[in-house]
């Protein structure tokens, strides 16, 4: 959990330039709620990869895991990356999204 908190803080610091929060969301950007869930699932997939040390046995398998997360969410890498770039361009929104990501991961963790 500390790693996720650190990542959220790091994203906030790295993207701390001001952005107009009243800007309309561009077409093609994944909704905030869906993006939070996808980001949580991506972090969970990455954690599973690290735990099982898949990255050393087959580097392409990481991509397969992430692609499966995106497929289940009904999106693809290009749209996810486009949405990620949009949200990370607004540090206040992105920081609050990462707080929601942490809550989402905690909920999933409590179920297991």
Q: Domain ranges in the chain? A: 38-112
Average pLDDT over residues 101-105: 95
Candidates 81, 52, 78; CA nearest to 65 is: 52
**In the structure, what pLDDT confidence band is assigned to residue 3 with cuts at 50, 70 and 90?**
low
Neighbour tally for 80: CB within 10 Å:
19
Element (H, E) at 85: helix 77-88
State pTM to two decimals: 0.73
Which pLDDT does position 19 carry in this prediction?
A: 47
Which pLDDT does position 4 carry in this prediction?
A: 58
Which pLDDT does position 80 carry in this prediction?
A: 97
Which pLDDT does position 104 carry in this prediction?
A: 95
Which pLDDT does position 111 carry in this prediction?
A: 85
33-76: per-residue pLDDT in tens?
999 999 999 999 888 888 876 556 666 777 888 999 999 999 99
């Amino acid at each position: 959990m500390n790693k996720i908190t650190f990542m959220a803080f790091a994203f906030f610091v790295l993207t701390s330039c001001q952005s107009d929060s009243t800007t309309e969301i561009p077409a093609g950007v994944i909704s905030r709620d869906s993006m939070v869930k996808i980001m949580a699932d991506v972090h969970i997939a990455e954690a599973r990869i690290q735990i099982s040390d898949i990255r050393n046995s087959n580097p392409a398998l990481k991509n397969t895991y992430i692609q499966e997360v995106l497929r289940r969410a009904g999106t693809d890498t290009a749209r996810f990356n486009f949405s990620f770039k949009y949200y990370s361009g607004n540090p206040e929104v992105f920081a609050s999204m990462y707080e929601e990501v942490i809550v989402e991961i905690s909920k999933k963790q409590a179920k297991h």
